[in-house]
């Protein structure tokens, strides 16, 4: 297994604020990894550390030599007064051959948008354009920050299906960020829950037969969405027992409140977000 990128003991912050501390991260060739976490938990900051847009306060980042990275940031501001068509946009920051652009647009299902102005695209179309642009560098690692934000359930499912297809056909590794705590792409090999530090990590389970799953998603998403079951209960209770609760389902109540509850009881020593006295 080729390691594409690895971070050890990463810490980051802005001014007097610490955003991340003690974060270990890696992704190998062909893996799909999803980072989930509440708003402000440092997901985008971790992505920006990995692409080199933010410098770590401590820790190290090692990239495979010559690693090609396709990065779709969470926010990309385009001057709305610029009369930019999709095909012109794909030439930013550097031009690509027309045939290559056409091939990537076809892969992303947006061939009919070639001459469409960038303004006036739907959220889903816009993300597919950004995706096509990121693919032009023939990345080994594709990084997507909140790509399905603003899409409806069917739109997200279609987008995730496309990501799976890209992994299968192009052998890409994919690192995705989502603030949807309870829904992740079922094809994720690993899910990392971040809240200033790595709370927990595990594999998602497809619970298609669970009534909650059917109630939330119906049966029309072809299994591309799944509820995520955490591997443990976040209690970080190293002193007694193993701190695990394998039957615990976060579908309904995972979030800040749950963290606050767990930490208040058992996490005085282990959580950098709540330093021990
Ligand atoms: N360039 C910056 N300057 C100052 N503070 C920043 C900067 N970037 C991020 N932050 C702060 O760092 C914290 C973490 O932000 P980050 O965007 O990494 O979180 P996130 O988990 O991606 O959140 P969201 O789900 O809301 O996108 C936030 O409190 C944010 O205000």
Predicted confidence at residue 225, as pLDDT, reads 53
Q: Which of 12, 23, 42 to mutate to test the pocket of ligand 1 (most atoms within 8 A of CB)?
A: 42
Question: Which atom of ligand 1 approaches the CA of 177 most closely?
Answer: 22
Give the pLDDT band (50/70/90) at residue 122.
confident
- Find the mean pLDDT for residues 11-40: 93
Average model confidence (pLDDT) across the chain: 76
CATH class of segment(s) 3-15+28-74+85-219: alpha beta
Query: Residue whose CA is closest, atom 29 of ligand 1?
Result: 40
- 124: which 2 tokens? 């889903």
Environment class of residue 127 by beta-carbon count within 10 Å: exposed (0-12), middle (13-18) or buried (19+)? buried
Query: Residue whose CA is closest, atom 3 of ligand 1?
Result: 14
ipTM: 0.97
201, pLDDT greater than 80: no
Ligand 1 centre and the CA of 40: distance in Å? 5
Predicted confidence at residue 192, as pLDDT, reads 83
- Find the mean pLDDT for residues 1-28: 96
Contact between 91 and 105 under an 8 Å Cβ cutoff? The reply is no
Predicted confidence at residue 141, as pLDDT, reads 98
HSE, side-chain direction, 13 A CA sphere, residue 205: 13
Contact between 229 and 204 under an 8 Å Cβ cutoff? The reply is yes
Q: What is the pLDDT of residues 58-87, one digit of tens each?
A: 999 999 999 999 998 877 767 767 788 999
- 151: which 2 tokens? 């899409």
Reference 86, options 47, 136, 51; nearest CA is 136
256, pLDDT greater than 80: no
Question: Which atom of ligand 1 approaches the CA of 37 most closely?
Answer: 21
Contact between 171 and 149 under an 8 Å Cβ cutoff? The reply is no
Q: Which residues pair with 10 in a beta bridge?
A: 23
Contact between 46 and 196 under an 8 Å Cβ cutoff? The reply is no
Predicted confidence at residue 268, as pLDDT, reads 30
Q: Give the global pTM.
A: 0.76
Contact between 21 and 49 under an 8 Å Cβ cutoff? The reply is no
Question: Which atom of ligand 1 approaches the CA of 194 most closely?
Answer: 21
User: What residues does ligand 1 touch, defined as CB less than 6 Å away?
Assistant: 14, 19, 37, 39-45, 74, 179
- Find the mean pLDDT for residues 216-237: 47
């Amino acid at each position: 297994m080729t390691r594409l990128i690895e971070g050890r003991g990463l810490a980051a912050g802005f001014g007097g604020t610490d955003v991340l501390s003690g974060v270990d991260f890696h992704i190998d060739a062909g893996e799909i990894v999803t980072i989930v976490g509440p708003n402000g938990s440092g997901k985008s900051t971790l992505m920006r550390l990995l692409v080199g847009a933010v410098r770590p306060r401590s820790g190290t980042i090692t990239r495979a030599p010559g690693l090609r990275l396709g990065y779709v940031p969470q926010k990309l501001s385009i001057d709305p007064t610029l009369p930019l068509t999709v095909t012109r946009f794909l030439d930013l920051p550097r031009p690509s051959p027309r045939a290559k652009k056409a091939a990537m647009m076809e892969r992303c299902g947006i061939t009919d948008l070639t001459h469409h102005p960038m303004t006036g695209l739907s959220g889903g179309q816009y993300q597919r354009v950004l995706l096509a642009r990121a693919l032009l560098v023939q990345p080994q690692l594709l990084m997507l920050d909140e790509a399905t934000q603003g899409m409806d359930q069917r739109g997200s499912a279609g987008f995730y299906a496309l990501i799976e297809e890209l992994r299968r056909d192009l052998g890409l590794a994919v690192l995705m960020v989502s603030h949807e705590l309870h829904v992740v792409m079922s094809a994720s090999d690993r899910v990392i829950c971040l809240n200033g530090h790595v709370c927990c990590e595990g594999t998602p389970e497809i619970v298609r037969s669970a009534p909650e799953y059917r109630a939330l998603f119906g049966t029309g998403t072809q299994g591309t969405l799944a509820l995520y079951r955490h591997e443990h209960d976040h209690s970080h209770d190293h002193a007694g027992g193993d701190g695990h609760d394998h039957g615990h389902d976060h579908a309904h109540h995972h979030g800040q409140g749950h963290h606050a509850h767990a930490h208040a009881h058992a996490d005085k020593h282990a959580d950098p977000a709540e330093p021990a006295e």
